[in-house]
């Protein structure tokens, strides 16, 4: 990976045909998993694998150390999805995803710790990539959390947590071009409440901090996803819910200024 520097706290993964990086503290169990051929093959065939559906299937599995990780194969979305699927030109987006994940966490944006990634040759010009993040216990994506509510349950905690996440993204200047209901993870915290984390940060763009344009872009993308889920899946989410998310985000941004 020409020009890529392995971040502090990580070690390079360099095997025949394989390039990547791994959290130094988990180097041994990660290399053991990679010995299966690819991280994805290790996860797909693991007897304790727990699948998650989205753009492809991701798997939550334990490493030999007992640490639990989520393994996903990077895939194209949009127009390139059906054509290229999991094949990327050059080094793939995985190295940048690690850089962005670390940058977002430094800026106070909650996102699962990226544990490792590895890329493999797919042909003369293309490569595939697997990305491993630390599994967040007691969590479900926002679509699942909303879908699990009965008509009499309050959405307020979910809406407030989502608004807080959008505020943190805006304060950091982080535009997420694929901010949908599946890319927001709702997790129980240690204090009996919930918080929202952002997923799939490989295409995040860091802009000016607290830029109103950042909040507007993220709100529009999330709203499109929410309305699609309501239209296609019958999810109980209303315009008023999106306005509540926006109100919380703007209030927190104002308090932070």
Residues 146 and 113 in one domain: no
Distance CA 215, CA 174 (A): 9
CA distance 66 to 33: 12
Output the domain CATH number for residue 211.
Answer: 1.10.510
Q: Are residues 14 and 119 in the same domain?
A: yes
The answer, as to whether pTM is greater than 0.75, is yes
Per-residue pLDDT at 2 exceeds 60: no
Structural domains in the chain (count) = 2
Task: Find the mean pLDDT for residues 120-148.
Answer: 94
Instruction: Specify which of 47-56, 128-137, 201-210 reaches the highest per-range mean pLDDT.
Output: 128-137
Cα dihedral 130/102/210/141 (nearest 10): 40
Tell me, yes or no, whether 46 and 107 share the same domain: yes
Is the pLDDT at 80 greater than 60? The verdict is: no
Residue 83 has pLDDT above 80, yes or no: no
Query: Considering 134, 167, 186, which residue would you say is the last residue of a domain?
Result: 134
Mean pLDDT of the region 65-82: 82
Q: Worst-scoring range by mean pLDDT, 19-23, 71-75, 164-168, 206-210?
A: 206-210
- For 198, the token pair is 């952002």
| Percent residues over pLDDT 90 in the chain | 80
Shared-domain flag, residues 19 and 100: yes
2 within a domain of the structure (yes/no): no
Angle, alpha carbons 43-32-121 (nearest 5°) = 70
Same domain, 115 and 145: no
Pairing assessment for the beta strands 18-23 and 10-15 based on DSSP bridges: antiparallel
Per DSSP, what are the bridge partners of residue 12? 21
- DSSP H helices, 92-173, are 94-106, 142-147, 156-172
The reported pLDDT for the residue numbered 5 is 82
Q: Is the pLDDT of residue 187 over 90?
A: yes
Could you tell me if residue 5 is inside a domain? no
In a domain, 4, yes or no: no
Contact criterion met (CB below 8 Å) for 167 and 108 = no
Domain boundary among 82, 106, 134: 134
Residues 66, 170, single domain; the answer is: no
Domain coverage including residue 81: 10-134
């Amino acid at each position: 990976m020409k020009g890529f520097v392995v971040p502090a706290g990580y070690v390079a993964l360099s095997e025949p045909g394989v390039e990547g990086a791994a959290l130094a503290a988990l180097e041994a169990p990660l290399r053991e998993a990679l010995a299966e051929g690819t991280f994805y093959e290790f996860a797909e065939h693991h007897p304790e694998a727990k699948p998650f559906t989205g753009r492809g299937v991701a798997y939550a599995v334990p490493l030999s150390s007992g640490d639990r990780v989520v393994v996903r194969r990077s895939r194209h979305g949009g127009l390139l999805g059906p054509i290229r699927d999991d094949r990327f030109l050059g080094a793939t987006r995985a190295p940048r995803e690690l850089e962005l994940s670390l940058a977002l966490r430094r800026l106070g944006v909650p996102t699962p710790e990226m544990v490792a990634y590895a890329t493999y040759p797919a042909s003369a010009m293309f490569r595939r990539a697997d990305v491993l993040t630390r599994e967040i216990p007691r969590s479900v994506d926002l679509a699942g959390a909303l879908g699990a509510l009965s008509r009499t349950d309050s959405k307020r905690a979910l809406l407030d947590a989502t608004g807080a996440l959008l505020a943190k993204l805006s304060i950091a200047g982080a535009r997420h071009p694929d901010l949908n209901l599946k890319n927001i993870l709702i997790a129980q915290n240690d204090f009996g409440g919930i918080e929202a984390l952002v997923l799939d940060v490989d295409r995040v763009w860091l802009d000016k901090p607290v830029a109103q344009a950042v909040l507007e872009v993220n709100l529009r993308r999330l709203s499109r996803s929410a309305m699609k889920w309501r239209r296609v899946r019958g999810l109980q989410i209303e315009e008023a819910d999106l306005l509540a998310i926006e109100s919380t985000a703007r209030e927190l941004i104002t308090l932070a200024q």
